[in-house]
Amino acid sequence: MWIEKYRPQTFEQIQGQEKIVERIKSMTEKKNLPHLLFAGPPGTGKTSIALVTAKTLYGDSWRQNILETNASMDRGINVVREDIKNFARTKPVGNAPFKICILDEADALTRDAQQALRRTMETYSGVCRFCLIANYSSKIIEPIQSRCTIFRFKPLVKKDIEKIIKYMAEKENLKIGRNIPEILYEISGGDVRRVQNILESCAVMNKNITENLVYEIVSEAKPKEIKEILQHSVKGDFLKARDKLLDTMLRHGLSGIDTLKQLQREIWALEISDEQKLEMTKQCGEIEFRMVEGSDEFLQLEALLASFVNC
C-alpha cells in the first residue's frame, strides 16, 4: 500500500508540521526525549514522526528498541500490566539510552488502563520513553498529560498536499489534471492518508487522474451538483431542489450524513446574505443531530431544504 510505501524515513521528508519536526529533531539529536503526546486529526503525520524518531535514534536496531501497539484494539488494563510493562522494564538493545513504547490511538484506552499506565511511565522512565498518539488529547487523563510534552498537530495546508501529490505522481508516472490537487485537498481536509488512498485507487483504474475519476472513487457529488440543489431551494423551488437531491444521492450512492456535509460546505459559496448563510448552517446542525439520533435521512434532508426555502 502507498501509505507504507511513501511513509517518510527521515525528518527532511516530512511535509508540514515544521515547528514540531524541528523540536523533535533537536531532542533526538541530543538523545534526550521526554514522554511525548502527539494529538491531532488523523493523517497529519503523528505516527510517521514517531517512527522517524525511532529510526534516527536507533539506526538499524530500531525494531528491537520500540514497541508499537494500537490501543484501539488492545485497550484493557491487562495489556498495560503485561505487554507494556514487560517491555518497559527491560534494558534497551545496543548503546541506546532508552527504548520507546509507541501507543497509537491512546485515547481509546480505558480509564483503568490509563491509571495503570501512569505508574508504569513513572517507574520505568529511566529505560523507556512513551509516545502516546491520540486524535483527542482531552480523552487522556490529566496525570498522563502532565507527564508528557504535548505536541498538537494540525491538518496539512494546501501547498504541502500539493507537494505530496506531485512527488507520488512522479514516482508512479501519474498524469495529474490541473485542478486535481485542489479537489483532493478539499475532499481530504488536510488528511494525507486519505489523499494517498484516493490516488492509489484512481491509479489502479487509470494513470490519467481526472476530476470525474476522483469523484467516482470517493463517491461524492461534484460541488456544482450540490450548489444547484442549494440554488433551487433558496430561490423557493422546493420540488426541483428535492428531485435534484434524490437524483444526486442515488447516482453517487451518498448517505444522508455525507450529503449533509457537502451541503453545509457549499452554503458559503452561495451569493446570499451572511445572515441567510448563518441560518442555513444552524439548520444543518439541527438536522445532523436528528440523523445521528436515528431519524429517516431523506425525510430530514427534505425538511432541511424546506427550511432553506423559508430562509
- Strand pairing of 175-176 and 99-104? unpaired
- Rounded to whole angstroms, the Cα distance separating 7 from 48 reads 7
Residue found under cell 481536509: 189
Contact 244, 229 (CB under 8 A): yes
The contacts of residue 201 (CB under 8 Å, 6+ apart) are: 217
Q: C-alpha dihedral over 192, 197, 200, 203, to 10 degrees?
A: -100
CA 102 to chain centre: 18
pTM greater than the 0.85 cutoff = no
> Which domains, ranges and CATH numbers included, belong to the chain?
2-152 (3.40.50.300), 158-218 (1.10.8.60), 224-309 (1.20.272.10)
The contacts of residue 256 (CB under 8 Å, 6+ apart) are: 291, 297, 298, 300, 301
CB environment 200-227: b (16+ within 10 A), e (fewer): bebbeeeeebbeebbbebbebbbeebbb
- Rounded to whole angstroms, the Cα distance separating 310 from 45 reads 44
State the greatest distance between any 2 C-alpha atoms of the chain, in Å, as a whole number.
73
Q: What are 265-291's pLDDT values in tens digits? A: 899 888 888 889 999 999 999 999 999
- Rounded to whole angstroms, the Cα distance separating 287 from 271 reads 23
What the block records as the C-alpha cell of 214 is 476522483
What the block records as the C-alpha cell of 67 is 514497541
Start-to-end Cα distance in the chain = 47
- 3-class SS of residue 302: helix
Query: What one-letter code names the amino acid at 157?
Result: V
Strand blocks (E) in 1-52:
35-39
Residue found under cell 534494558: 91
So what's the pLDDT on residue 118?
A: 87
Bridge partners, residue 197, by sequence:
none
pLDDT in tens, the chain (311 residues): 777 888 888 999 898 889 999 999 999 988 889 999 999 999 999 999 999 999 998 888 888 888 888 866 666 676 777 788 888 888 888 777 899 999 988 888 888 888 888 888 888 888 899 999 999 989 999 999 999 999 999 999 999 999 999 999 998 899 998 889 999 998 888 899 999 999 999 998 888 999 888 888 888 888 889 999 999 998 989 999 999 999 998 888 888 998 999 999 899 888 888 889 999 999 999 999 999 999 899 999 999 999 998 87
CA 220 to chain centre: 18
Contact 22, 49 (CB under 8 A): no
